[in-house]
């Protein structure tokens, strides 16, 4: 979920301001400062995806992953995906900025509230910029029990809860059964 909290500012103003924010996470989307907030459902789904990705990276040490505290610079904006991944050859060593200076190879965005127009607008903006930067994006909607994989210059792949998500060229030999990260079907989520 996102919540616009500040009037418009420049990217330089945001970077200065964000470097002093220690207790919350913020994105810079479309010239607006957006506080990154979630809910327990999105957090649980993200945690499960992260667990599968962590296990994969233990046996395939091809890069590093971040959770919702790791930000990235994407086409002049600042994003904090629920999970981000960068291949080893693109890693830049120790980075002192709250935002890694490049776009991730993979961004996982878990929808917190599909009825939140601000969140959905921000997601659309982020998708355009991620794809323009060469990032593959997984959008997971635990409410509709669906996932979409956006890969630059490829058609969107859509999955229901029986689908198997592939890591493609970003995460070779990685696959994830969507049902393994969603709540049980008898636990229909309310919009938290």
The pLDDT value given to residue 140: 97
Within 13 Å and on the Cβ side, how many CA atoms surround 112? 19
Does residue 129 form part of some domain?
A: yes
Does residue 60 form part of some domain?
A: yes
Q: Judge if pTM exceeds 0.85.
A: no
Listed ranges 98-102, 118-122, 169-173; the one with the highest mean pLDDT: 169-173
Q: How many domains does the chain have?
A: 1
For the chain, report the end-to-end CA distance as a whole number of angstroms.
10
Structural domain harbouring 48: 38-180
| CATH value at residue 79 | 3.90.1570.10
Q: φ, ψ for residue 145 (rounded to 5)?
A: 60, 45
Nearest to 159 by CA among 171, 170, 135, 175: 175
Neighbour tally for 152: CB within 10 Å: 12
Does residue 130 form part of some domain?
A: yes
Helix (H) or strand (E) holding 118: helix 117-132
Does residue 187 form part of some domain?
A: no
Give mean pLDDT, residues 25-39.
72
Percent of the chain exceeding pLDDT 90 equals: 56
Percent of the chain exceeding pLDDT 70 equals: 86
Per-residue model confidence as pLDDT tens digits over 112-168: 888 888 889 889 999 999 999 999 999 999 999 999 999 999 999 999 999 999 999
Nearest to 77 by CA among 110, 132, 31, 122: 31
């Amino acid at each position: 979920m996102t919540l616009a909290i500040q009037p418009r500012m420049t990217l330089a103003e945001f970077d200065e301001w964000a470097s002093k924010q220690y207790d919350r996470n913020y994105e810079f989307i479309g010239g607006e400062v957006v506080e990154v907030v979630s809910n327990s459902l999105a957090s649980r789904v993200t945690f499960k995806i992260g667990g599968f990705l962590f296990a994969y990276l233990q046996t395939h040490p091809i890069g590093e992953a971040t959770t919702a505290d790791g930000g990235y610079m994407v086409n002049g904006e600042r994003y904090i995906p629920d999970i981000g991944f960068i291949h080893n050859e693109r890693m830049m060593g120790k980075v002192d900025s709250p935002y890694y200076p490049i776009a991730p190879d993979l961004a996982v965005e878990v929808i917190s509230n599909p009825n939140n127009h601000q969140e959905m607008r921000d997601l659309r903006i982020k998708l355009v910029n991620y794809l323009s930067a060469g990032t593959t994006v997984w959008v997971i909607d635990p409410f509709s029990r669906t996932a979409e994989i956006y890969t630059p210059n490829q058609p969107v792949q859509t999955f229901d809860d029986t689908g198997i998500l592939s890591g493609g060229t970003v995460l070779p030999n990685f696959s994830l059964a969507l049902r393994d990260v969603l709540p049980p079907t008898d636990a229909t989520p309310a919009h938290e």
